[in-house]
Chains A and B, each alone.
Chain A
Amino acid sequence: MYIDPTTGSLVLQFLAAGILSVLAMASRVREAVKNFFKHLIPRRGRWAGKP
């Protein structure tokens, strides 16, 4: 390492990575819940045109 990352920057980086990971996980959970309900309720007209 030849550049100084500085202490404040390293501490902030841990904080940032933590917050962003939590947000990313929350977003994945939200998508999963949305998909679950999407599959539970069949879309209107899904079988239209089929015997």
Chain B
Amino acid sequence: MGWQAVEGSFRDPSGFVYSRDGTLYRQINTSFRQRFEAFLTSGLYDELVRDGLLVPHEQVGLEFSATNDACAVIRPQRVAFISYPYEWSFGQLQDAASLTLEIQERALARGFTLRDSSAYNVQFQAGRPVLIDTLSLEPLEEGKAWVAYKQFCEQFLLPLTLMSTRDVRCSTLLRSYLDGIPLDLGSRLLPRRTWLSPSSLLHIHLHALAQSRYAGSAVSSAAKGRTMSRKGLLTLVKNLGAAIRGLSWRPAGTEWAEYTTDNNYSEAAARSKRNLIVTHLRESRPGTVWDLGANTGEYSRAAREAAGLVVSFDVDPAAVERNYRRVRAEGETGILPLLLDLTNPSPAQGWAGRERLSVEERGPADAVLALALIHHLAIGHNLPLERVASYLARLGKLLIIEFVPKSDPQVARLLLSRPDIFPGYTKEGFEKAFSRHFSIRAAAQIEDSERWLYCMPASPQAAT
């Protein structure tokens, strides 16, 4: 009684994750007892946790179990914000792939293997990727091939190769194909020159051909008694690692990645805006802030001065990549850059539409920043102000929003090629629309600009 399964962990018969009284638990079923105990006593768990590759857990009593077939219950350290591969930048997916291979390499050295290489088993914690599925490691059966090889290729290698050699926006395919991009589709989409790359040829193109050649064949007849040595497995994993490291993408030239160095704020305006944001946030002491339209995260870092975690969302893959590279380069622990198109946000999806959560279901955030965003939504995307207010009120408990008037050069730019059909886009119209969902606590003009910064808690009825 009193427990709720975490959707997304029900496919594995060896255990599942659930929450009870707000605490997260993972039950290990009796069928997995020996393998779990072997993993814990092998030293592999300690090694992976010590080096920050696996989320640590605490073992608790069976009284915390959810069902009768539990043999153990663990309380894993909770990840502050769950994100999905289709929300990651190129570098994030690449780092998650490298983490998976690093773990597999270390596991093989100790006679273990990853029985699952799902990208959904990786999360970002304190700026770094970490494996969250403690049950995905099991003793290696000598002679057996790596069961998660295809899954690795479809969830990591192929998407990264498409992003690197075709177009970085191919990552959006991961939103349709939650189990990974099918090899045959990826093989058709990749540029012809990838047939000349040994790793793409082997792990993607020939892999896709083998899939269709042996479709419907039993393993026993096709494999003809072949076995795989541990050395062979290690060679394969090392080669995949080299292939992943060999892929690159340069985040430049897109509209937003250049925005912070090419906008119309004066130094005084930027300083004034920053001070107002930090002051408002310090007053409300939020745990988590969502910065919507964060670009490369300049103001996310200001928000971080007052919050434990800032999820730094942007629609532009180059901006998110730059933001993530800065997080890695400077070892920042409280910024999580993610890709999000606010006009088509990550939906609830997967089995029964509940396996992966929508952005809204992962909230509400303690505070939401919407800086230099409203004109893009209202004018760039024809979204009525009232609808924008209604959605933002569902995303966070407090909103810090910048109003950019029509006289601003950035708005004028949006109206260059179209008639102005937005008579209601005024400071008064904005305040009226937002007052229906928020109570405006403070409003101040940003120094040396015509823009205004508002701080407004969501009205109680907004959450319903």
The 19 listed contacts between A and B (C-beta, < 8 Å) are A2-B116, A3-B147, A5-B148, A6-B150, A7-B215, A8-B213, A8-B217, A11-B222, A12-B206, A12-B210, A13-B145, A13-B146, A13-B228, A15-B206, A16-B236, A17-B232, A17-B233, A20-B202, A21-B235
Starting from the known contacts A8-B211, A20-B235, 7 additional A-B residue pairs (CB-CB under 8 Å) come to A2-B12, A5-B148, A8-B217, A12-B202, A14-B223, A16-B236, A24-B235
Q: Are B202 and A16 in contact (CB under 8 A)?
A: yes
Separation of A13 and B153 alpha carbons in the complex (Å): 11
- Chain B residues with Cβ below 8 Å from A5 are 145-150
The residues of B that contact A20 with a CB separation of less than 8 Å are: 202, 235-236, 239
Q: Does A40 contact B (CB under 8 A)?
A: no
Nearest Cβ distance between residue B336 and chain A, in whole angstroms?
28
Q: How far is A10 from B219 in the complex, measured between Cα atoms in Å?
A: 8
- Across the interface, do B214 and A17 meet the contact criterion of CB distance under 8 Å? no
B203 interface hit (Cβ, 8 Å):
yes
Name B residues whose Cβ lies closer than 8 Å to a Cβ of A: 11-14, 115-116, 145-151, 153, 202-203, 206-207, 210-215, 217-219, 222-223, 226, 228, 231-233, 235-236, 239
Chain A residues with a Cβ under 8 A of chain B: 1-3, 5-21, 24
Residue of A nearest to B179 (CB): A3
The closest CB in chain B to the CB of A5 belongs to: B147
**Residue numbers in B under 8 Å from A2 (CB-CB):** 11-14, 115-116
The answer for the CA separation of A41 and B204 in the assembled complex, in Å, is 44
Whether A17 pairs with B228 at a CB distance below 8 angstroms is: yes
* Complex interface: chain A residues within 8 A of B217 (CB): 7-8
A8 to chain B, nearest CB (A): 4
Count: A-B pairs, CB below 8 Å: 88
> Among the listed A3, A8, A14, which residue makes an inter-chain contact with B226, where contact means beta carbons less than 8 Å apart?
A14
Q: How far is the CB of B350 from chain A (nearest CB, A)?
A: 15
**What residues of B have a CB within 8 angstroms of the CB of A15 in the complex?**
206, 210
Tell me which residues across on chain A come within 8 A of B226, comparing CB atoms.
14
**Chain A interface SS verdict (over half):** helix
Q: How far is the CA of A22 from the CA of B411 in the complex (A)?
A: 62
Majority-rule SS of B interface residues: helix
Assembly CA distance A41 to B124 (angstroms): 53
A16–B201 alpha-carbon span in the complex (Å): 10
Whether A3 contacts B222 in the complex (CB less than 8 A), given A8-B212, A9-B211, A16-B202, comes out as no
Name the contact of A7 in the complex, choosing from B153, B206, B207, B218 (C-beta under 8 A): B218
Of all chain A residues, the one with the shortest Cβ separation from B208 is A8
Give the distance to chain B from A4, nearest Cβ to Cβ, in Å.
8
The distance from the CB of A12 to the nearest CB of chain B, in whole angstroms, is: 4
Chain B residues in 8 Å Cβ range of A16? 202-203, 236, 239
B11 touches A13 (CB 8 A): no
- Kindly list chain B residues whose C-beta atoms are within 8 Å of the C-beta of A3: 115-116, 147-148, 151
CB pair A19–B222 under 8 Å, yes or no, is no
- Return A13 CB to nearest CB of chain B, in Å: 5
Q: Which residue of B lies closest to A24 (CB)?
A: B235
B150 interface neighbour in A1, A9, A14, A17, Cβ under 8 Å: A9
Residue with the highest number of chain A CB atoms closer than 10 Å, among B13, B203, B207, B222: B207
Set B146, B202, B223, B239: member contacting A11, Cβ < 8 A: B223
Quote the shortest CB–CB distance from B218 to chain A (angstroms).
Answer: 7
Assembly CA distance A9 to B148 (angstroms): 10
B232 contacts across to A, CB distance below 8 A: 17-18, 21
Task: Report the bound CA distance from A24 to B238 in whole Å.
Answer: 11
Compute how far the CA of A16 lies from the CA of B157 in the bound complex, rounded to whole angstroms. 15
Contact A9 B236 (CB under 8 A): no
Instruction: Pick the most buried of A10, A18, A19: most chain B CB atoms within 10 A of its CB.
Output: A10
CA distance A7 to B207 in the complex (A): 11
Residues of A within 8 A of B235 (CB): 17, 20-21, 24
Residue of B nearest to A22 (CB): B235
A29 CB to nearest B CB, Å: 15
CA–CA, A11 to B214, complex, Å?
A: 8
